[in-house]
């Protein structure tokens, strides 16, 4: 059994594993709607990892965050905006936050998913329905 050097070491190992998976989600030329779906699917497969990320974000002090307008995520969305995948009047940072929220909505709001959609957020039916709705939403961003 591997030793990770305590809680922080284990968390770093989890992050490194996620970053390796995340690198495989995107490929040159992939449409934004497919990329969003891949994130949704990855989160659906690993709900505990998503909960860990949400918990970390909720517990973090927002005053310690530094603005990063040149982040790779924003650079990618700006390039997609220039290519016509995102309308010019939309702020790419806002689009990123909305997509992140959509992807984790089943983790953060499982009772609302059941109440409003009648679906179990852990079910294949949820992934199928949410995936199609997410793709449609992203197509409308153009």
pLDDT value, residue 63: 86
List the pLDDT tens digit at each of the 142 positions of the chain.
566 677 777 777 877 888 788 888 888 889 999 999 999 999 999 998 899 889 888 998 888 888 887 889 999 999 999 999 999 999 999 999 999 999 999 999 999 999 999 999 999 999 999 999 999 999 999 9
Q: Are 98 and 104 contacting, i.e. CB atoms less than 8 angstroms apart?
A: no
pLDDT value, residue 25: 83
Q: Where are the domains of the chain?
A: 29-59+71-140
CA distance 136 to 33: 8
pLDDT value, residue 67: 84
CA distance 120 to 82: 37
Angle, alpha carbons 32-133-136 (nearest 5°): 50
pLDDT value, residue 4: 65
């Amino acid at each position: 059994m591997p030793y990770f050097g305590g809680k922080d070491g284990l968390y770093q190992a989890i992050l490194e594993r996620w970053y390796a998976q995340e690198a495989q989600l995107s490929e040159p030329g992939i449409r934004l709607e497919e990329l969003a779906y891949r994130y949704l699917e990855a989160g659906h497969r690993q709900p505990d990892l998503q909960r860990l990320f949400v918990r970390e974000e909720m517990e973090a002090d927002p005053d310690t965050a530094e603005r990063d307008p040149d982040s790779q995520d924003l650079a990618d969305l700006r390039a997609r905006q220039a290519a016509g995948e995102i309308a010019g009047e939309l702020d790419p940072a806002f689009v990123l936050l909305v997509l992140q929220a959509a992807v984790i909505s089943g983790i953060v709001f499982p009772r609302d998913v059941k109440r409003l959609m009648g679906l179990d957020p852990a079910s294949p039916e949820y992934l199928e329905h949410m995936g199609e709705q997410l793709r449609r939403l992203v197509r409308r961003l153009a």
